[in-house]
Amino acid sequence: MRRRLLLFVSLFIMLLSALRFSPSFLSKAYETPTFTLLNEHHVIKLNSNMPYIAGFQVDADDLSQRENVNATAVTVNFASAETAYFPSDSWLGGGMFVQAQDHFFRNVDYGFYMMLVLNSSGYLFVDVGLHQTEEETSPIQMARSSLVYSYTWLINNVTEPTPATLSQTWLDNDSVQYSISVSGFDVVLADVNVAAMPNCQNIIPKFYVGNVVIAQFPFSRYINYFQFGIASNKAIDDTHWQVDIQNPMILRNNGWALVNKAWLLEGDHSFLDQDLEWGGAVYPGISVTPDIQQSQGLYELNFKYTGNESVYNTTLWNLPPSTNPETGFGIENQDLTQASRRSLPIIIALLGGAILIPFLLIRFKALTKRPRPSSKTVKRK
């Protein structure tokens, strides 16, 4: 009896060992995604003529309605990507590009991005960052932007076709949390205290969505606050790749809501404020095909190179308005841009001097020309 029990225990231990060191067990352990922080970054400059094409969220057909929300999310995967056909030292990214604003300076805005990136060497990354922009304040300054921060993680043990859900969420009045859900794992990548960054202490802790008209036809310039699409540092004009972007979402006060209305724009209309753009250039030869499966709750955009140009302002999908109400926002008492505010006293002093100095000179000349009374005394008779 003891021998049988001992034999049974021995066989059970051998079975556990076999399972532990079996190829399937090793494969499962190997597939656990890991993220390594790097110093290699991607979207580090705005208005750089970067090839870009994206869908954007629409609140109203006249593109004149906006709201603010607590978070945005989108799911990205590279459905096919043969990087051997990519140009040397190139990368291709898909993700979301969102704007925030400043409650003190009227022309200061903030561009947040989060992307899944594949480079020509076949490595997969997740990229997050923030640009601060200042619109043109003529004649004081030209439009300009600066990179506030950028973080990049190398993704290990995740294949290109694996969908990854990217999320960026305001935690409080200071911090944005970046997280990723992939292969059944939820990973918080970083909590960034945005308000502690240089010149960012007045940021409104919300993401803006919807649209604002800044120039009517024929200029057709609009700010589209929530964009979701693809960008690359070089045009990849080859048919061996496809990027899928699924279910762009916004987090209102009452919960998550799908973007119910989405249109298409090219990189030369990708304004995040009045003057500055995410891309700057059309992505040549890209076709964008909506794949909508309402029964499964899937709203997907397929980006791929076909040699055919997509049509600007194409409606990608138009669903009934969400029952989740919009999030309103108060009117901000905003000042000029930071540079304008610093320069304004100097400009006022110069203008004042330009007006006052000629007046004083004329007054001085008039006084010097006035005849002086004679110093001689007149004798009386």
Domain that includes residue 197, residue range: 32-318
Give bridge partners of residue 69 from the DSSP assignment: 207
Could you tell me what percentage of the chain is helix, strand and coil, using 3-state DSSP and rounding each to the nearest 5? 20, 45, 35
Separation of alpha carbons 282 and 265, rounded Å: 9
Question: What pLDDT sits at residue 4?
Answer: 59
**Structure confidence at residue 323 as a pLDDT band (50, 70, 90):** low
Separation of alpha carbons 88 and 121, rounded Å: 9
Instruction: Assess contact for 83 and 119: CB atoms under 8 A.
Output: yes
Q: Flag the least confident range among 17-26, 116-125, 206-215, 365-374.
A: 17-26
Question: What pLDDT sits at residue 25?
Answer: 37
Q: pTM for this structure?
A: 0.79
Separation of alpha carbons 135 and 138, rounded Å: 9
Question: What pLDDT sits at residue 295?
Answer: 80
Instruction: Assess contact for 81 and 160: CB atoms under 8 A.
Output: yes
Q: Does the pLDDT value for residue 338 go beyond 90?
A: no
Query: Is 15 domain-assigned?
Result: no
Query: Is 245 domain-assigned?
Result: yes
Tokens 């939820």 locate to: 186
- Higher pLDDT: 114 or 307? It is 114
Separation of alpha carbons 27 and 108, rounded Å: 49
Instruction: Assess contact for 91 and 120: CB atoms under 8 A.
Output: yes
Q: Does the pLDDT value for residue 331 go beyond 50?
A: no
Question: Which residue type is seen at 211?
Answer: N
The count of structural domains within the chain is 1
Query: Is 362 domain-assigned?
Result: no
Tokens 């200061």 locate to: 108
**β-strands 280-282, 50-57 pairing:** parallel
Interval 269-295 mean pLDDT:
92
Query: Is 26 domain-assigned?
Result: no
